[in-house]
Amino acid sequence: MTQLITTELVELDQNLGNAPEAVIRHLASKVAAAGRATEVEGLFADAFAREQETATGIPGGIAIPHCRSAAVTVPTLAMARLDPKVDFGAKDGPADLVFFIAAPDGADQEHLKLLSKLARSLIKKDFTAALRNAASEAEIVELVEGALTDKPAAHAAAPVADAVPVAAGVGAAGAAGSASGAPATGAAGSGGRGPKRLVAVTACPTGIAHTYMAADSLVAAAREMGVDLQVETQGSSGAKALDPAVIAAADAVIFAVDVDVRGKERFAGKPVINAPVKRGIDEPDKMVQEALAAADNPHARRVPHFGAEEQAEHEAEERGEHIGQKLKKALLTGVSYMIPFVAGGGLLIALGFLMGGYLITKYADNIVVQNSLFNLPTEFPDNAWGPLGAYLGAVLFKIGALSLGFLVPALAGYIAYAIADRPGIAPGFVAGAVAGFMGAGFLGGIVGGLLAGYIAHMVGRLQVARWLRGLMPVVIIPLLASLVASGLMFLILGGPIVAITKGLNAWLSGLTGAGAIALGVILGLMMCFDLGGPVNKVAYSFAVAGLGAATIDNQAPWQIMAAVMASGMVPPLAMALASTVLNKKLFSLAEQENGKAAWLLGASFISEGAIPFAAADPLRVIPASMLGGAVTGAISMAAGVGSKAPHGGIFVFFAIDNFVMFVVSIVVGTVVTALSVIALKRWAVKKTVDTVEPVPVTV
């Protein structure tokens, strides 16, 4: 097995900057320089995105930035002992020990287990003391390899009681208690019945570090209190489910998770403490105490039965949210699940047009049914790439069209899911299918999804007999919610929504001149307002939702898509131009490095490439981006540029009509934004920009 860490991946007592971003970039460069990653920027982007989701600092002056990345070729550990320390978000202060865990997307289970094992070792005080006392890179490597093979750490200041290792689904604390021959005492509320029994699930998005550290921390805290705690770690190196008998005997459950708990229904009815996985590392004792208190509290929040008791979950989660926040959350959930159908389907349709010609729409059905690779069509569009191109184009077009056919049902289904959890999915999909059948389109999907979700939610609140609870989520809720929501769509709401949709489509199709330019300006402003946030997503969703209605005779949806994509490319390209070409001195070293990556991100239509610049200087970057985006949107609409693909930037040139003007609009907007941000940085409230100390980068 490949060695996880080598001396060339260790940095001792160095100044790597004063921000997590600088440290992570430096360690990513060491991984790439060691030949363990194909590029620095891709690895840095994945690691820093994970850092922005949840800070990776943990108590004890330690940080564990980590990620899975397609740029990583070999599972790797890079380590830095910092001087000075850098704040990675831990409650007890900055970190001086930083372990960067880089795993490939397809890392094997053995490597993942070792990476997870190292993360768990970092909560052991003797191990971290030895790391701080190590005099050389070779000594660090020896200590890490010793931790991975369970050798005792050398150079420790004093031995410290270690957390009992937790195998997924195995009760370490309970095992320790029973091995002693007498039950532990002192659990709050035990009342003479022996220790309280708790179960827990830990999980984080990456599933390498925090998942297992939280498990060990919770077990150690529970053991000190005399509590029997068994943990299920839902991580990347595999998970073994807790024994149903163990769950049934538990007095309460702890969810220390940043993602959905798999098999959550197994814990239905148990008092629950729910918190981010990092709290399981930072405050394990408090979480155990809260779970013990919940076990004795008849009014404590409980894991829902996904039916009759679902109200408890939603009331707890939604407390303090107003209706606007709830609607926004539901709509963004629907859009996020819808986009993959549209992105994949749209690109397939674009490829179908490329190979089969624009008239392939008239031939596709007959070709895919009546022909094959061994029986190529004889009737096909004149501009197709011959019989084979016509056949493949028809197949690609049809697959894409069928994928796009899920646009409205998926939107409605997952809006309902956001409101009513899993029981809302089926009624939402049905209501969305009804909206599509009636021609109510995108608006019909939104209305149908909201109806299905809220009706499923209300049906789920009904108090029913215990024997009927099992039927609620699989029969009763889908039946009643589908009947009511889809019935309302057919009988009352569908007709007016269809009329509105047709009127909107007719208005968009008839936009010319100033009207089209104004729409381009609005879309450009929205795309650049929050760089991938809710406003950006609204504009993008509006564009992709119309692709299914576009035809040769009605090209307005394609033109809207082109304006949205072109405008979204402007901010990262402009930041790249300004920071790497026009005026480097106005940007920090970190921003200059980000600017190099932003060229490719912008060309690929990834607006988020401008986020590091906007985060550092929002009052200059965002207005400048909006100005350039508005210019680009206006030029694109005025020139009649069209895009049959919903994503891909310049790399889907074959799917873009009037590609020259598409490029011209982007170039003009990019220059406008770049010059604007430079002007604002020079003359609008000057400030020192070189606040980040130089970071040596090895490539």
Q: Which residues are catalytic?
A: 66, 204
Beta carbons within 8 Å of 595's beta carbon, 6+ residues apart: 575, 576, 578, 579, 580, 587
Report helix, strand or coil for 273: strand
- Per 3-state DSSP, the chain is made up of helix, strand and coil in percentages (nearest 5) of 60, 10, 30
Burial of 143 (0-12, 13-18, 19+ CB in 10 A): buried
- Crossing angle of helices 20-33 and 40-53, in 10° steps, is 140
Tell me whether the omega of the peptide bond preceding residue 84 falls within 30 degrees of 0, making it cis.
yes
Amino acid code (one letter) for 343: A
Residue type, 522: I
Q: Helix, strand or coil for residue 508? A: helix
* 663 contacts 657 by C-beta, under 8 angstroms: no
Question: Are 365 and 317 contacting, i.e. CB atoms less than 8 angstroms apart?
Answer: no
Place of tokens 């959350």: 329
- 348's enclosing H/E stretch is helix 323-356
Residue of 32, 43, 34 lying closest to 597 (CA atoms) = 43
- Distance between CA 10 and CA 6 in Å, rounded? 7
Could you tell me if 137 and 30 are in contact, meaning their C-beta atoms sit under 8 angstroms apart? no
Q: Any idea what DSSP says for residue 238?
A: B
**DSSP letter assigned to residue 300:** S
What's the token pair of residue 317? 């989660």
The half-sphere exposure of 516 on its side-chain side, counting CA atoms within 13 A, is 22
Length of the chain: 699
Which one-letter amino acid corresponds to residue 239?
Answer: A
- Distance in angstroms (rounded) separating the CA atoms of residues 440 and 496: 9
Buried b (16+ CB within 10 A) or exposed e, 472-496: bbeebbbebbbebbbebbeeebbee
| Nearest to 174, CA basis, from 202, 190, 193, 195 | 195
Is the Cβ–Cβ distance between 303 and 268 less than 8 Å? yes
The pairing of beta strand 76-86 with beta strand 10-14:
parallel
Rounded Cα distance between 116 and 111, Å, is 9
CA 43 to chain CA centroid, nearest Å: 16
Rounded Cα distance between 358 and 353, Å, is: 5
Q: Which two tokens stand for residue 682?
A: 């020079």
